Structure formats: C-alpha cells, structure tokens
Amino acid sequence: MRIYFCAFLALSFFVPLSVHSDDALQIATSFERRKLEALLTYLKDTPNADDEDVALRILVGSYSTLGEFEAVPDLLIRRYELLPKTGEPNLQVLFAEISRPLVEASISSDQRDKAKAFITRVKSDFSSSPVSGQLDQFLDQLGSDLYLPGVGDKMDFAFTDLEGEEIDLSGMRDKVILVDFWATWCGPCLASMPNLQAAHEKYHEKGFEIIGISLDESLPELEAFLEENKIPWPQYFDALGGENEIAQRYGIRQIPATFLVGKGGKIAAANLHGEELSEAIERELAREP
C-alpha cells in the first residue's frame, strides 16, 4: 500500500538520544493524534476556511501514517468537492492525490462501494472535459482493483480441467485451496512455481489443493510446460489469454495473483509467499469447516 501525504516532523529537538524505539513510536503516534484532533477542531470551528484543502491533505497523511484508513475516503471526497469542475482539471491532484489513494484506502477499509460511486461521479462531472477520455481510461484501470476479491469474499467457479476432470469449488468446502492466476510467459509466475510445488507436496495429503488459472493462449506450450515441470494440480485454460473468463470475472489485471481459499469457500489471504504462505495454509487446515 502506497502512503500519500505522510506528514513529516523532526522529533530530534525534544526526544532524548537514549530514547527506546518503542518510546519514539509512542511519541510520534501521540503527536499524530494531537495533530488530528487540532485539525478536526479547526475545520469544525472554521467552515469554508481558505486553507481547508491543506488541512484535509494533512489529515489524510496523519490517518495514513497511523494505518487508520476508515476516515480517509470521506476526507478525500471533501478534497474532490473543492476542485473546480469546469475546464481542464489538475490531473496531478485528481489522479495522484485524490483518486488513487481514495481507491486504495477504500479497499483497505472495506469501503469499495464508496470508491465505485466516487469513480462514477468523477466521470460524470468531467464528461464534457477535453481530457474526459484520458480520465475515463485512468479511472477504469484504477477502479478494476475494486472488483478484485478480498479476504472474506467467496470464490466460486467450476470448469473441466485439461485432464477432463470436473473441478467445482462448491464441492471442495472441506479443503484449503490456493487459486493461482498465472501464465507460462510470466517470469514472476514461473519464479514462484517451486514454492507452490513445495507447498503442494507438503500439504496435499492434509487437504490442500492448488488450482491453476492459466492466462496462456497456446495449449501446446502450456501442456509442454506442465509436463516438463511435473505440475500435478488441475488447470483451467480457455485460450483467451488476458481475456481469460475466470480472470475477467474476478477483475484480475496482473499476474501472478493468488488467493488462499479456506474451508467453507471464503478467501483467507491473497498473494502470500514463502513462510507466510506455509503459515497461512497450516492455519486454515487447522480450522473447522
């Protein structure tokens, strides 16, 4: 997660050199809290302040620094409301300072619907702008992240794999499943494959399965890779590449993308690697369905 507008303060003026790191963090956190309270009071007591945008920008930075993203979308929407809606917008402010962090904060705080409504609003507000085409393209790409499945969401699909076996996640609720969106032309995907093979070998007999969703276009190349590398888990392939049906359904626009589906069919984690993946698999295997 990128952090925007992180407020910076040199604390060395009043922090003793012997202070412990935990103390320093506590001091910094305490400062951010006081700053938040003061700015919120200022905005409440001074409606339509000339420097309202500055205050909002600093508030976003403070909340982000504290990792408290729930309030960030509404603050950024207030910043957006201050922007003029005629002529060419300031794209740097609209894109980098408002739209992108709003979407990221909305995803982190489970407020995706708020971000979806915001994107629709911006498109409408600037529909007659000379840069509306550029705006729409950026917002569509940015908004695609809002449709990615998140922790707690259900993942459900069925298909016939390359071996002719019927794969249906709804009938695998007693298993822990890693859904791997990948392709043979994707370098990072291939780099992660040994880790997935090791996890499969270690946990498969305990109820762990991997399901590959291949974004390849050539079946012979895919089959050759699977045979050469002895990949044993089922694969979905429809020859559509980046327009892969299951990938499109879940808003996948970049790979590798992996989702760990726990017992019961809900996503428990995403894009884990190495020890984090192993720990998550063990944790989910230990859960009751």
Give 244-282 pLDDT, tens digit per residue. Answer: 999 988 888 889 999 999 999 999 999 888 899 999 999
Residues 189 and 72 in one domain: no
- The full DSSP string for the chain is ----S-----GGGTS-TT--HHHHHHHHHHHHHHHHHHHHHHHHHSTT-TTHHHHHHHHHHHHHHTT--TTHHHHHHHHHHTS--SSS--HIIIIIIIIHHHHHHHHHTT-HHHHHHHHHHHHHHTTTSTTHHHHHHHHHHHHGGGGS--TT-B---EEE-TTS-EEEGGG-TTSEEEEEEE-TT-HHHHHHHHHHHHHHHHHGGGTEEEEEEE--S-HHHHHHHHHHTT--S-EE--S-GGG-HHHHHTT--SS-EEEEE-TTSBEEEES--HHHHHHHHHHHHHS--
What pLDDT sits at residue 108?
83
* pTM beyond 0.85: no
User: Where a domain ends, among 93, 120, 147?
Assistant: 147
Residues 31 and 133 in one domain: yes
What pLDDT sits at residue 107?
85
| Domain annotation covers residue 265 | yes
Give 142-161 pLDDT, tens digit per residue. Answer: 888 787 888 888 899 999 99
What pLDDT sits at residue 289?
65
| Domain annotation covers residue 278 | yes
Of the two residues 57 and 289, the one the predictor is more confident about is: 57
Of the two residues 46 and 12, the one the predictor is more confident about is: 46
| Domain annotation covers residue 101 | yes
| CATH assignment at residue 96 | 1.25.40
Q: By percentage, how much of the chain surpasses pLDDT 90?
A: 69
**Model confidence at 4: pLDDT above 50:** no
Of the two residues 61 and 2, the one the predictor is more confident about is: 61
pLDDT band at 9 (very low <50, low <70, confident <90, very high): very low
| Domain annotation covers residue 6 | no
**Model confidence at 11: pLDDT above 60:** no
Give 76-111 pLDDT, tens digit per residue. Answer: 999 999 999 988 889 999 999 999 999 999 988 889
Give 159-178 pLDDT, tens digit per residue. Answer: 999 999 999 999 999 999 99
Give 20-73 pLDDT, tens digit per residue. Answer: 556 888 888 899 999 999 999 999 999 999 999 999 999 999 999 999 999 999
Residues 125 and 226 in one domain: no
What pLDDT sits at residue 221?
96
What pLDDT sits at residue 267?
94
What pLDDT sits at residue 287?
86
The residue range of the domain holding 167 is: 158-286
Residues 137 and 177 in one domain: no
The mean of the pLDDT values for the chain is 89
User: Where a domain ends, among 84, 118, 147?
Assistant: 147
Give 183-241 pLDDT, tens digit per residue. Answer: 999 999 999 999 999 999 999 999 999 999 999 999 999 999 999 999 999 999 999 99
What pLDDT sits at residue 10?
35
User: What is the number of domains present in the chain?
Assistant: 2
Residues 69 and 17 in one domain: yes
| CATH assignment at residue 262 | 3.40.30.10
